Chain A
């Protein structure tokens, strides 16, 4: 039987753990709201952007002068995977799920005889990708100093990716992040950003626009921005997903700690009672012996 003092100490330590997880859950909830607001605020830009660029892209599709960012390099040899995860752990399966998807993707590509390169954004993803794919790992982008994600952060990542594309380091780039559905569900997602892919423009929206300067000039100007826009949207989704995942993970932890405290308290009370009973028996049998 564990002694009373030990039990008491354990209960106290689980209680303080519960306090910490509870606090983390509340912090995550507040941050989640902010992250969702930011994602919400970015949506009109992304939607309009994709609609206009999508329509433009459809009109030059197949033409020989289509920009390389749209048409691709013509090869499908080297793939760049940009794996975006959180800077911090304690958020359930969030980081692991993204890394798992990226690994499955990398293994499949390698099975097809393609070359794979990996860039990570976020410390947690780097740790798990580096363990298995240290030979494929080419760069890491650190966002740990960033308090509030801005478009500038995404633009910097995009500039890095585009520079590598211009240098001919890869043919296809894919980003990995988690799409935010709700607090309890985040979908790890792979999205190809180079060559750019757009949803087919909806029918009926076929206003004939004058393009100034020309369609291709505008496209050449906008496609690199499109990469940054997509990365920005993905970063924002990721931030919301991270906080959502942390919130539900901490909620679970808090509940588990509560259950544990209940169990330990019952055990503690039982042992205490046993000790009292024992003492009584000793006193009574001592009195009888007299």
Chain B
């Protein structure tokens, strides 16, 4: 099974013989293996893991979607190999999610609750990434 991970700036991974890809979908994690039913799912911030004959590679990704067909293509707005993830980059991501959360909190109107919920989810997903990699989110738990 062919697997590609693409961000707007570059192609991060292109693997010809992936065995399985674990994708952090918006509605929950899912694992794509060969002959998976065609599906498109949007992503939440999380860790994507590709299993090949040589071992596993993992990437921290946020925003975008995955297209599962004969090939698996993941388009992530931001993606970085977990081995290259540093505290500084992670701090940026968390700070951004935190800002969005603060902004949603200040909003009023009928959609405000939904926006606050999704911003809170985004923030906690982001914080969870840090837990997976062993980085300090420096944010109080929600």
Contact = CB atoms under 8 A, between A and B. Distances in A.
A210 B25 CA distance: 13
Interface residues of B, number: 26
Nearest to B11: A44
B39 A210 contact: yes
A45 B73 CA distance: 10
Task: Rank and list the top 7 A-B pairs by shortest CB-CB distance, nearest first.
Answer: A212-B41, A210-B39, A151-B8, A41-B10, A45-B6, A209-B40, A209-B38
Contacts of B40: 52, 56, 209-212, 218
A52 B67 contact: yes
Interface of A: 38, 41-42, 44-46, 48-49, 52, 56, 150-151, 154-155, 207-213, 217-218, 221-222, 225, 228-229, 232
B11 A41 contact: yes
A212 B40 CA distance: 6
Interface in B49-106: 63-65, 67, 69, 73, 75, 77-78
A48 B40 CA distance: 12
A48 B6 contact: yes
Contacts of B64: 225
A212 B39 contact: yes
Contacts of A228: 8, 77
Contact of B9 (A48, A150, A207): A150
A72 to B, nearest CB: 19
B67 A45 contact: no
A42 B41 CA distance: 21
A272 B8 CA distance: 63
Interface string B30-44: 100000011111100
Contacts of A151: 7-9, 77-78
Contact of B38 (A42, A154, A208): A208
B13 to A, nearest CB: 12
A44 B6 contact: yes
A211 B6 contact: no
Contacts of B9: 38, 41-42, 150-151
Contact of A218 (B7, B30, B42, B69): B42
B1 interface: no
Given A218-B65, A222-B65, A48 B75 contact: yes
